[in-house]
Amino acid sequence: MKKQIVALAAMACSGVSAQNKMTPELLWSLNRVSASALSADGKSVYISSKKYDLKTEKGKTTQSVISIANGKKKKFTGTEGKTVFQQTETEWYAQDDNYIYKSTDEGQSWSNIGSMIKDAENLKVSPDGKYIAYSKEVLVAPTLGKDLYKDMPKTTAQIYTDLNYRHWDKWSDGKFSHLFIEPVKGGSAKDLLEGMPYDCPQKPMGGAEDFVWAPDSKGIVYVCKKKFGKEYALSTNTDLYYYTIKDAGTTNLTEGMKGYEMNPAFSTDGRFLAFTSMKTDGFEADKNDIVVLDMATQYKRNLTSAWDETVSGFKWSNNSKEIYFTAPWKGTEQVFSVAVPANLKARIMPAVTQITDGNFDITGIVGETNEELIVSRTDWNHAAEIYAADKQDGGMRVLTHENDALYSTIKMSKIAKRYIPTTDGKQMFAWVIYPPDFNPAKKYPTLLYCQGGPQGALSQFYSFRWNFQLMAAQGYIVIAPNRRGMPGWGVKWNADISKDWGGQPMDDYLSAIDDISKEKYVDKERLGCVGASYGGYSVFMLAGIHKNRFKTFISHCGLFDLKSWYGTTEELWFANWDIGGNYWSQNAPESYSKFNPSNFVHNWNTPIMIIQGGLDFRVPIEQGQQAFQAAQLKGLKSKFLYFPNENHWILHAQNAIVWQREYFQWLKETL
């Protein structure tokens, strides 16, 4: 590991004394900062800063170029109503609803370079500037009655004969996201998936990262899972396909690789293609590796196979000799590097080197200069800002200050690390977040936070919903354990949760709350348990086995009954792998009996609030309804907070504020 240099402890402030504590309204007033590219000379970085208006629920984005040397900011002009989407060697590109624009002076002026097809998304201009690639919805397999019966335009019928009829938060309407290529100066567009019921980008979360131009502009590599219906719902097997413009031919570059192959990226010299890869079909949280493909010989090399962790994202170095990547690491997300052998067949395994270390998350790598990496960074007291990290020792300096003025008025929480003995003789790491002005002589109500995933990293993320800074500011201690199933502690620790949802992970949670409860400043009579998704499942499960430890529970989009969940969720590969299969087979998995929260409702004796989104098809509405109905019929103090227009998350600004208000009102009433 490279030597750690202590990162900047705090951002510059305006000199105003910090008097306030974080509130939901202040949280939503923060600027949301991101960076997408460095200038061709490596001297500046393009950033966007988005701020929401709570009344309109609309976000306004400011686009700028920041000097890496001194942090000076120059705003783009003429970009109102446009989205800047790409920077090449000498040009910037932007789009609105109808046109593509180009700037050659770092966003100070823009010229219209031609009409653009309406509803095009994820635009990318080829390196030579001659072609544009984009995605667009295409009707391929009609399922709506009005499409099947043209004489019945007002019918609302939907007709399905196969699975995957709904996904994440949308019912299938027979349309698929297809990838198109057409000349920038006009000409016919080529649909690379013409007539096929497949998606690129991948739904529901995929975007422009799902395809990449070759540096010579002769072709494009794209991600696609060429499966339909039940096959799609049961498999994670995506592949990478290379389409060449000259002969209109397509080659499967990863044929025979069975899991997720994603995030294709060419080396600067075009010799290699790197991508992330999982080995196992159906295991969406399998170890994620970096594989490099020699485009000339088609030989592949896994660069991280011997490394006992999993990769989040990566970026090629400018000289194509190494790859920088982010990965969960002991309760954080850090930057690492791995060398790319000039000869991929060399027997020596490339060494992985850690570059950054500290109580923060590196949430993305934007690019590199001669001496530094430009990265996005968060911690539990700060939303994302852009930093420069020294490539040799990991020392960091902040480049953007989008939220300094607000931070200077807010008291920050104390964050501490804690190691906890588990029931099977292990040591489990946990974060503890304390209220501002914490006084160990006082007693505080304490919340056990249960993370989702179930294999999601519990690191120094900054959430606009599950925000620990906000919780602590209301006077709560929060303990957030890295229980079984979380990356950053070795591949086995990450994988051990599968098929054991209600077993050791529940013991880990109880160990965490029991351990923190030994502290004199924890009020043992006021312990709460909260979480979402698998964390919501954990809340339901713990409500039946906690033996009076907790005084209140809050579950958001939690799995309550595994049988009905299996019958209504959409990505069945997840259920099959983590639960063990269906419930009707002769040897049905023990999860349906031992680890099913609905089987333990007879033990429920504690107030509980249940939150559910009407568009959540991952954990459908009946899960929340069943839990609330059970609590009501048992006579428990309970509340059902329902958002008809939300999916697995809360995405609308005013809904988010109501979520926070109801969350803290419930804790105030019950804790």
Q: What is the pLDDT of residues 74-87, one digit of tens each?
A: 888 777 778 888 87
598 CB-side CA count, 13 A: 19
Sheet holding 477-481, edge to edge: 414-421, 427-434, 477-481, 444-450, 522-532, 552-556, 608-613, 638-643
Q: Which pLDDT band, with edges at 50, 70 and 90, does 104 fall under?
A: confident
In total, how many domains does the chain have? 1
Give the CA distances from residue 342 to residues 205, 297, 345, 348, 350, in Å, rounded to whole numbers and listed in that order.
34, 13, 9, 12, 11
Q: Is 652 designated active site?
A: no
Q: Is the pLDDT of residue 445 over 80?
A: yes
Quote the pLDDT of residue 93.
Answer: 87
Q: What's the mean pLDDT in 651-666?
A: 98
CA distance 222 to 239: 8
Relative to beta strand 522-532, strand 444-450 is parallel
Q: Which of the residues 382, 546, 556, 648 is marked catalytic?
A: 648
Q: Which pLDDT band, with edges at 50, 70 and 90, does 40 fall under?
A: confident
In a domain, 165, yes or no: no
Residue 601: name the closest of 575, 570, 631 by CA: 631
Q: Quick: pLDDT tens for 169-215.
A: 999 999 999 999 999 887 899 999 999 999 999 999 999 999 999 99
Q: What's the mean pLDDT in 582-591?
A: 96
Sheet holding 73-75, edge to edge: 32-38, 44-53, 58-67, 73-75
- The answer to whether residues 295 and 273 touch, using CB atoms and an 8 Å cutoff, is yes
- 91 vs 355, higher pLDDT: 355
DSSP-derived secondary structure letter, 349: P
Quote the pLDDT of residue 15.
Answer: 39
What do you get for the CA distance between the two ends of the chain, in Å?
Answer: 44
- The answer to whether residues 54 and 374 touch, using CB atoms and an 8 Å cutoff, is no
Chain Cα centroid distance, residue 151: 43
The single residue listed with the structure tokens 């179930």 is 454
Give CA angle at 644 (609, 60), nearest 5°. 105
Q: Which pLDDT band, with edges at 50, 70 and 90, does 8 fall under?
A: very low
Q: Quick: pLDDT tens for 236-267.
A: 999 999 999 999 999 999 999 999 999 999 99
Quote the pLDDT of residue 13.
Answer: 38
Q: Quick: pLDDT tens for 270-320.
A: 999 999 999 999 999 999 999 999 999 999 999 999 999 999 999 999 999
Give CA angle at 373 (372, 375), nearest 5°. 140
Q: Is 401 designated active site?
A: no
In a domain, 219, yes or no: no
CA distance 253 to 222: 10
Range of the domain at 494: 412-670
Quote the pLDDT of residue 622.
Answer: 98
Quote the pLDDT of residue 626.
Answer: 98
In a domain, 85, yes or no: no
Q: 13-22, 87-96, 100-109, 563-572 — which is least confidently predicted? A: 13-22
Residue 136: name the closest of 158, 149, 118 by CA: 118
- The answer to whether residues 359 and 461 touch, using CB atoms and an 8 Å cutoff, is no
Q: Which of the residues 533, 555, 591, 598 is marked catalytic?
A: 533
In a domain, 587, yes or no: yes
Relative to beta strand 73-75, strand 58-67 is antiparallel
Q: Is the pLDDT of residue 88 over 80?
A: no
What string of H, E and C letters represents the secondary structure of 490-541?
A: CHHHHHCCCCCCCCHHHHHHHHHHHHHCCCCCEEEEEEEEEEECHHHHHHHH
Q: Which pLDDT band, with edges at 50, 70 and 90, does 635 fall under?
A: very high
Q: Quick: pLDDT tens for 369-378.
A: 999 999 999 9
Strand runs labelled E in 395-502: 396-398, 414-421, 427-434, 444-450, 477-481
What string of H, E and C letters represents the secondary structure of 266-317?
A: ECCCCCEEEEEECCCCCCCCCCCEEEEEECCCCCEEECCCCCCCCCCEEEEC
Q: Which pLDDT band, with edges at 50, 70 and 90, does 641 fall under?
A: very high
In a domain, 93, yes or no: no
Residue 140: name the closest of 202, 194, 179 by CA: 194
Quote the pLDDT of residue 4.
Answer: 35
Q: Which of the residues 199, 546, 616, 638 is marked catalytic?
A: 616
| Main-chain dihedrals φ then ψ at residue 657, nearest 5 degrees | -65, -45
Q: What's the mean pLDDT in 24-43?
A: 92
CA distance 11 to 240: 42
Rg, C-alpha atoms of the chain: 25
Relative to beta strand 372-379, strand 382-390 is antiparallel
Which neighbouring-strand residues pair with 277? 261, 289
In a domain, 647, yes or no: yes
Question: Exposed/middle/buried for 420, CB within 10 Å: 0-12, 13-18, 19+?
Answer: buried
- The answer to whether residues 274 and 315 touch, using CB atoms and an 8 Å cutoff, is no
Q: What's the mean pLDDT in 57-64?
A: 91
User: If you average pLDDT over every residue of the chain, what do you get?
Assistant: 94
Q: Is the pLDDT of residue 394 over 70?
A: yes
CA distance 461 to 296: 40
220 by DSSP, 3-state: which?
strand
Q: Is 616 designated active site?
A: yes
Q: Quick: pLDDT tens for 527-575.
A: 999 999 999 999 999 999 999 999 999 999 999 999 999 999 999 999 9
Quote the pLDDT of residue 476.
Answer: 98
Q: What's the mean pLDDT in 21-45?
A: 92
Which domain CATH number covers 657?
A: 3.40.50.1820
Q: Which pLDDT band, with edges at 50, 70 and 90, does 6 fall under?
A: very low
CA distance 226 to 412: 49
Q: 113-122, 123-132, 425-434 — which is least confidently predicted? A: 113-122
- The answer to whether residues 202 and 164 touch, using CB atoms and an 8 Å cutoff, is no
Residue 527: name the closest of 424, 447, 429 by CA: 447
Q: What's the mean pLDDT in 148-177?
A: 97
In a domain, 147, yes or no: no
